[in-house]
Amino acid sequence: MVQYIVNIENNLNNDNLDVHCLEYTKRYIDYGSHHLLKNANYSITLKTSLLSHIRIITCTLTCFINCNTTIGFTAFLGRPNFIDNKCGGRHCFFKLEDDEIYLYNIKKTKYEKYMMWWNNSSLKEFK
């Protein structure tokens, strides 16, 4: 079994964030809603093996004060392309800024743009 960590950090300027994550495998897991103040974070730890079903975690993010926006995104996909090329390892660290969602690539030792989230008309996950 391999352990993975998904971490979401609220780095919005002067705004709170609600995070609600769900997992879809052969069973459905609701991780519940969590309210994050500025600079707070929320983590999910999961264990999986190569022989298990593909694990997918999606999260819905809602901010209220300055942006009044809700968006959903894929926070974890149990596929080598996502794990190796997006997260760069066993830790998927997401940081929400006012303009974008950033994902830390451990192999490159830097945050990279993952998706825009402040403008619903231009939402697009970075491939």
Cα–Cα distances in Å, from 2 out to 26, 33, 78, 82, 121?
Answer: 18, 26, 11, 15, 38
Q: Which two tokens stand for residue 8?
A: 């979401």
d(CA 22, CA 95): 19
SS3 at position 85: helix
pTM: 0.85
Whole-number pLDDT of residue 123 = 39
Q: What is the pLDDT of residues 74-124, one digit of tens each?
A: 999 988 888 888 887 889 999 999 888 999 988 889 999 998 765 443 334
Whole-number pLDDT of residue 119 = 47
Whole-number pLDDT of residue 41 = 97
Q: Which two tokens stand for residue 2?
A: 């391999």
Q: What is the pLDDT of residues 28-75, one digit of tens each?
A: 899 999 999 999 999 999 887 766 668 899 999 998 777 778 889 999
- Give the confidence band of 25 by pLDDT, cuts at 50, 70, 90: confident
CATH topology of domain 2-122: Immunoglobulin-like (2.60.40)
Q: Please say whether the beta carbons of 117 and 96 come within 8 A.
A: yes
Mind spelling out the 3-state secondary structure of 5-67? EEEEEECCCCCCEEEEEEEECCCEEEEEEEEECCCCEEEEEEEECCCCCCCEEEEEEEECCCC
